[in-house]
Amino acid sequence: MKPNNHLSKLMSHLIITSKVGVGGVGLSAIAPLAAKMHCQIEQIATLYFATRPDLQKCEADVPCIHDFQQQLEEKLTLADMALLGYFASVEQIDNITALIKEKTERPFIIIDPVLGDEGKQYVSDPIRQAITHNLIPLANVITPNRFEADAIFGIKDKSFAETNAILKEKYNNGARPIIIITSAKVENQSIEIWYWDKDGKGCSYKHKYLSTAPKGTGDIFAFLVSYYLRKESLEKAIINSTDIMMQIIELSYQVNLNRKFPAYLDDIIQQARLRT
């Protein structure tokens, strides 16, 4: 699998997802990592939390749709790559879907479809449906976890071979995105990532399983994939992204075992060995 020629020329990353004041998810997780990798990013927050909701209950501050749309019109036009994560409303999804469709030259779209995990849905049904039916068809790459992949493709309890057949039938008559399913299979202290290139060739990659792996790592993984796909094959992008993600998780435990991830994300990222 060769690097995408379009991606190799990318200069501008636009990240559209949630932002928190305390805790490493969304933009708050991606920004220090991007700085470490000398990757300049533009940001649009879909909502703000003072702290991560799983650390402390707090109200979300959702930007008004006019401000959100204005930022989209200014920044999406200049972006070569857009990474889309958490959305707070159907209106936000409708706005970005319409704007992408209007563009004659679209940015390379990577979607980390934040729908839920471990059997729990994080968003409302209308948001889930808007992401699945309106946004996903515009993606060049999608990085769902197993729960999210089931919501999108209906692969609950399916094997790799069965999932491959479902995807083949779904995309039989049209273009397909690169699909990367994280946490696709967990067993015997290992975890598998299943992935398919844009031609439908599927593979799996097995790595060490950390039973207490923290939430919020999907944001970092999706950004790493978007970064490495600029210049590497899909296989190498996944291997490099997974290696760094595992480093960050393990370092977070070493820094402070008694705090939830990531207690000191900036310091942890500085210690990670990144391939730039």
What is the pLDDT, as a whole number, of residue 131? Answer: 96
Q: Which of 15, 143, 5, 3 is nearest to 79 (CA)?
A: 15
pLDDT tens digits, 129-181: 999 999 999 999 999 999 999 999 999 999 999 999 999 999 987 789 999 99
Does the residue 231 lie in any domain? yes
Does the residue 212 lie in any domain? yes
Predicted structure pTM score: 0.87
Domain residue limits at 216: 11-271
Q: Work out the end-to-end distance of the chain between its first and last CA atoms, rounded to an integer number of angstroms.
A: 20
Nearest-angstrom CA–CA distance, 226 and 112: 11
Q: 268: exposed, middle or buried (C-beta count within 10 Å: 0-12, 13-18, 19+)?
A: buried
Does the residue 5 lie in any domain? no
pLDDT tens digits, 210-261: 655 555 678 889 999 998 998 899 999 999 999 888 887 777 666 654 444 4
Q: Which of the 8 DSSP states describes residue 184?
A: E
Taking the CA atoms of the chain, what radius of gyration do you get in angstroms?
18
Does the residue 1 lie in any domain? no
Does the residue 254 lie in any domain? yes
What is the pLDDT, as a whole number, of residue 265? Answer: 61
Residue 34, domain CATH: 3.40.1190.20
pLDDT tens digits, 11-56: 478 999 988 776 667 787 788 888 888 888 899 999 887 666 555 5
What is the pLDDT, as a whole number, of residue 115? Answer: 93
What is the pLDDT, as a whole number, of residue 6? Answer: 47
- Strand, coil or helix: 63: coil
Using the predicted structure, report yes or no on whether residue 100 has a pLDDT greater than 90.
yes
Does the residue 202 lie in any domain? yes
Does the residue 3 lie in any domain? no
Q: In this predicted model, which residue has the larger pLDDT, 274 or 41?
A: 41
What is the pLDDT, as a whole number, of residue 10? Answer: 43
Question: What is the overall mean pLDDT for the chain?
Answer: 83
What is the pLDDT, as a whole number, of residue 147? Answer: 93
Domains held by the chain: number: 1
Using the predicted structure, report yes or no on whether residue 107 has a pLDDT greater than 80.
yes
Tokens 């060739």 belong to 201
Does the residue 4 lie in any domain? no
pLDDT tens digits, 43-94: 999 988 766 655 556 677 888 999 999 999 999 988 889 999 999 999 999 9
